[in-house]
Amino acid sequence: MATLTLNNGVEIPQLGFGTAAIGEWQQDDSYVTDTILKGMSIGYRHFDTASVYGNERALGRAIRDAGLPRQELFITSKVWDTEQGRETTAAFERSLERLQLAYLDLYLIHWPLPAYTRETWEAMEQLYDEKKVRALGLSNFRKSDIEQIATFARIRPTCNQIELHPYFTQKDLVDYCQFHKMAVASWSPLGSGSWSGVPTSEKPVVDPVIVALAEKHGRTAGQIILKWNIQQHRIVIPKAESLDHIRNNFLLDDFTLSEEEIQAIDSLNRNHRFGADPDTAHEENKKVRVPD
């Protein structure tokens, strides 16, 4: 499996398994655990969760039941808006407890909250110093938020996880992050999941350009989009629930897109978000509770 080396030397698998809203939003039961175990059986080793997803326990059960060596796994979680600032350390410890792990591989600030960023980041740096987490990063951070963190961070962020798909390529932000040696991770790489209410007919997986490339390469539209990310040195964390989709998302090694094909997908950009906008997300986010 292809990996990227983060700016602190930690290796991260480029292909991860997204866990937001497996089944339903904040579902945490045997169905979620079984879905994650399917991913592990196919070969996924990088799993992305968050306290607000409400399914850290289900992921923890899957890790236990799979019996894989801990060092083979790469586990990411995130601190939610309502946990930032002085709550950050306790929030991290709660995530670890729910996951039943001794450490995380990557811990992210889920959304930028500039008034709390310094206090949150300094708490995360302390966790890093204590070797409770192997790498620190950001999610949904704008250029201005990254500039703010650069003024005080003792430990540099290793990555920024952002909404990124063929209809929303965020080229300027991607270039900025990569110039500053921060890896870029794409959430909702295929266009938002069923929980978002976005009809499939509006998603890039049915775009004629993507469909034509899928037919040309004998692949699925999803595989084309994931490979487009991988070949541009981005981390990608698709979510899937059926065994077929989980398997297809994983089978990306035996075909390559040409430079022209990558540019054709790049040119589909519409600056169209499916998810929340970091300029306005906090008002809604602060109403969302992290389950116990």
The pTM is what?
0.96
What are the residue boundaries of the structural domains of the chain, listed by start?
12-198+233-242
Exposed e or buried b for every residue in 122-141, given b needs 16+ CB within 10 A? ebbbebbeeebbbbbbbbbb
Counting every residue written for the chain, the total comes to: 292
Question: What pLDDT sits at residue 195?
Answer: 57
Tokens representing residue 228 in the block: 């487009």
Helix (H, G, I), strand (E, B) or coil at 93: helix
89-101 per-position pLDDT tens digit: 999 999 999 999 9
Alpha carbon distance 234, 252 (integer Å): 14
Question: What pLDDT sits at residue 194?
Answer: 57
Tokens representing residue 141 in the block: 């951070």
CB 56 within 8 A of CB 62: no
For residue 77, report the phi and psi dihedrals to the nearest 5 degrees: -135, 180
Residues of the chain with confidence (pLDDT) below 70: 192-196
Question: What pLDDT sits at residue 252?
Answer: 96
Question: What pLDDT sits at residue 200?
Answer: 81
Question: What pLDDT sits at residue 196?
Answer: 63
- The domain made up of 12-198+233-242 has a fold known as TIM Barrel (3.20.20)
Alpha carbon distance 160, 261 (integer Å): 25
Per DSSP, helices labelled H in the chain are 30-42, 56-66, 88-99, 114-129, 143-150, 171-179, 208-217, 221-231, 243-250, 259-266, 281-285
Question: What pLDDT sits at residue 42?
Answer: 97
Residues annotated catalytic, as ranges? 53
